[in-house]
Amino acid sequence: MGLPAALPVSGPPVTLGEGNTPVVRLRNGPDRAGANAAMARAVEQPGRYPLTSYSSPSPGGNPPPSSQPRSSRGDPHANEGYKPVAYELARDFSRRQLDMVVVPTSRADLLAGIGRGFRELAAAGLIGREPRLVAAETAAAAPFTAALRHPDRADQERTRVTGGPTVAFSLGEERPCRQGLDALWRGRGTAVAVDDEAIMAGHRRPAAGLLLEPSSAVASAVVRAQARTSGGLVVAIGTATGLKGLVG
């Protein structure tokens, strides 16, 4: 028997069943706060589990308004769970120098966790140097790309952008979370934004045989551009399957 779960997606809300595992798909709200609130209501039902983060802000992200309850501020240790991604990459490419890791980025939880993992490996002498981190964003809302255009870090933290519609509906923030900026600062990183045409090209052309959802195909689209210029080993992180978009 599976576990009942909740998941925000585009399109009308429906309930799907696979065996004994009902999945409630929630219509995304007009903004991130709406989606988070819908998820919070859904998982209040006994026995239902979230399939995505719904804390606001993300763990380690920008401070919430003073009016927001402490219970909704997320777990500051949650990103530790992403460090094994770095460990596995170091293991799998132990005979080669990993030059660059491209991560689909919105609130930067994954980016921050991977950065921490590589820093710990380097500090322990288990890798020669940390790979460069790249935050892959949709051009419709690319706060990290906009922020890094400013030479002053204080200006980077104050950056705000106005988002627009995009096929990469899981991505897009108005401002860069500090945890993401910190990961890029420490890891000699950068941010690259790609438009919907490039994203859908990556979505339609499976990477290494894997069908990626558009929000994940952002990374593969960036990798195809970076691999032509870096001359080193570039890895894209795939965060979600494109199969879920074929359901319903």
Give residue 104's Cα distance to chain centre. Answer: 5
52-56, 124-128, 141-145, range with the lowest pLDDT? 52-56
- What residues contact residue 19 under an 8 Å CB cut-off, 6+ apart? 1, 2
5 within 8 A of 236, measured Cβ to Cβ:
no
Where are any strands of DSSP class E within 62-207?
98-104, 132-138, 190-194
Where are any strands of DSSP class E within 19-97?
21-27, 49-50
Average pLDDT over residues 56-75: 50
61-75, 208-222, 233-247, range with the lowest pLDDT? 61-75
Element (H, E) at 89: helix 83-92
pLDDT digits (tens, 9 = 90+) for 12-62: 443 333 344 444 555 444 456 676 777 777 777 766 666 566 666 555 554
Residues facing 233 on adjacent strands:
98
Strand order from edge to edge, sheet including 49-50: 14-18, 21-27, 5-9, 49-50
What is residue 47's predicted lDDT score, i.e. its pLDDT?
Answer: 64
User: Average model confidence (pLDDT) for the chain?
Assistant: 76
Question: CA 74, CA 17: separation in Å to the nearest integer?
Answer: 30
pLDDT digits (tens, 9 = 90+) for 88-115: 999 999 888 889 999 999 888 899 999 9
Q: Which of 30-39, 65-74, 148-157 has the highest mean pLDDT?
A: 148-157
What is residue 15's predicted lDDT score, i.e. its pLDDT?
Answer: 39
Q: How confident is the model at residue 67 (pLDDT cuts 50, 70, 90)?
A: very low
Q: What is the DSSP letter of 46?
A: T
What is residue 104's predicted lDDT score, i.e. its pLDDT?
Answer: 92
Strands 14-18 and 21-27: antiparallel
pTM of the full predicted structure? 0.73
Nearest to 105 by CA among 63, 148, 50, 49: 148
